[in-house]
């Protein structure tokens, strides 16, 4: 790979992190995809590659029989990269603008029932400050539908506890307001007043507006991986037939709102979806739920 190509990739990674506010997982995947592309280009600078060259690369990677979702992501990475190069005036035209990704299957999102959620919450071990923090985190995921990266990124200045509101920085650095239940609010207040100050003994833990709300045992911001680990630790003995992740909490939140009659536009706003099409998938989940209930309950079904 050319040194100039490596420098472009480093700048692009910064762009994804800072300006686009992509998740750590997505940024890592895009950078990996583009590194493979730049290595394939060998001594050709990416700004010299035209549409035919990009199409040649797509034909090349199709030999590896990637799943449609993986191939679509690799093409999305190329499109985003060249859109960035065009914006920065590194290329005069965008050769990736006409690249077509394969249609990705849209499986229905997996979600938990209310009973399953409550069972998980009640199995969080809250006999330690960190354990109580984890209970608060899961309560907030269930109450708000926040992404895990949004929750870990919360600062004290984002809280409006009196009005049951939290300001969230979503994808693309877009702010929105999410609402919290009274139960989640009470847990959050207890955490702030007691448990948080005990999580990192011996460290100077601040609670000014720019301080992270959720911290680890050294007083630094709790990371996404730690939240996932806390969930895995909680559910490992519950023998659930579903994989439980922070995003499953998000799906469960949205599904429950739709099933209880919430307006689709309201759910879109609470989830921070850019378009209504991303939210509409939950109507299919709800329809499936209705059919399942009908089949079980109706004598002639």
Known catalytic residues are: 147, 171, 247, 250, 273, 282
Which residue, among 112, 104, 14, 99, has the nearest Cα to 49 in the 3D structure?
A: 99
Phi-psi sector, 239: left (phi>0), alpha (psi -120 to 50), beta = left
Backbone phi and psi for residue 168, each to the nearest 5 degrees, phi listed first: -120, 140
Q: In whole angstroms, give the CA distance from residue 254 to residue 111.
A: 9
Beta carbons within 8 Å of 127's beta carbon, 6+ residues apart: none
Q: What is the DSSP string of 240-281?
A: -SS---HHHHHHHHHHHHHHTT--HHHHHHHHT-SSHHHHHH
Beta carbons within 8 Å of 287's beta carbon, 6+ residues apart: none
Q: In whole angstroms, give the CA distance from residue 77 to residue 61.
A: 14
Which residue, among 35, 231, 62, has the nearest Cα to 134 in the 3D structure?
A: 231
The stretches of the chain forming alpha helices (DSSP H) are 3-14, 24-41, 51-62, 68-87, 114-122, 129-144, 148-152, 182-190, 196-199, 224-235, 246-259, 264-271, 276-297
Residue 178: how many CB atoms within 10 A of its CB? 23
């Amino acid at each position: 790979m050319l040194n100039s190509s490596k420098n472009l990739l480093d700048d692009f990674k910064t762009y994804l992190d800072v300006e686009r506010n992509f998740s750590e997982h997505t940024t890592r995947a895009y950078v990996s995809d583009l590194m493979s592309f730049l290595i394939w280009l060998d001594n050709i600078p990416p700004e010299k590659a035209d549409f035919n060259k990009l199409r040649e690369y797509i034909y090349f990677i199709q030999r590896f029989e990637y799943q449609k979702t993986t191939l679509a992501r690799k093409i999305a990475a190329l499109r985003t990269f060249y859109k960035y190069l065009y914006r920065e005036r590194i290329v005069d035209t965008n050769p990736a603008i006409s690249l077509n990704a394969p249609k990705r299957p849209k499986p229905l999102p997996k979600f938990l029932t209310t009973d399953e959620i409550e069972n998980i919450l009640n199995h969080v071990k809250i006999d330690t400050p960190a354990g109580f923090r984890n209970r608060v985190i899961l309560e907030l995921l269930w109450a708000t539908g926040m992404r895990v990266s949004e929750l870990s990124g919360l600062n004290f200045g984002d809280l409006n506890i009196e009005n049951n509101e939290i300001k969230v920085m979503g994808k693309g650095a877009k702010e929105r307001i999410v609402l919290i239940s009274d139960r989640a609010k009470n847990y959050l207040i207890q955490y702030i007043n007691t448990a948080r100050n005990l999580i990192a003994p011996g460290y100077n833990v601040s609670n000014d507006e720019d301080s992270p709300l959720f911290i680890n045992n050294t007083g630094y911001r709790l990371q996404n991986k730690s939240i996932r680990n806390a969930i895995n630790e909680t559910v490992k003995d519950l023998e659930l037939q579903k994989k439980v992740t922070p995003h499953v909490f998000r799906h469960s939140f949205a599904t429950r709102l739709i099933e209880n009659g919430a307006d689709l536009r309201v759910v879109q706003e609470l989830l921070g979806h850019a378009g209504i099409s991303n939210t509409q998938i939950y109507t299919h989940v709800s329809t499936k739920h209705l059919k399942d209930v009908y089949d079980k309950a109706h004598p002639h079904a």
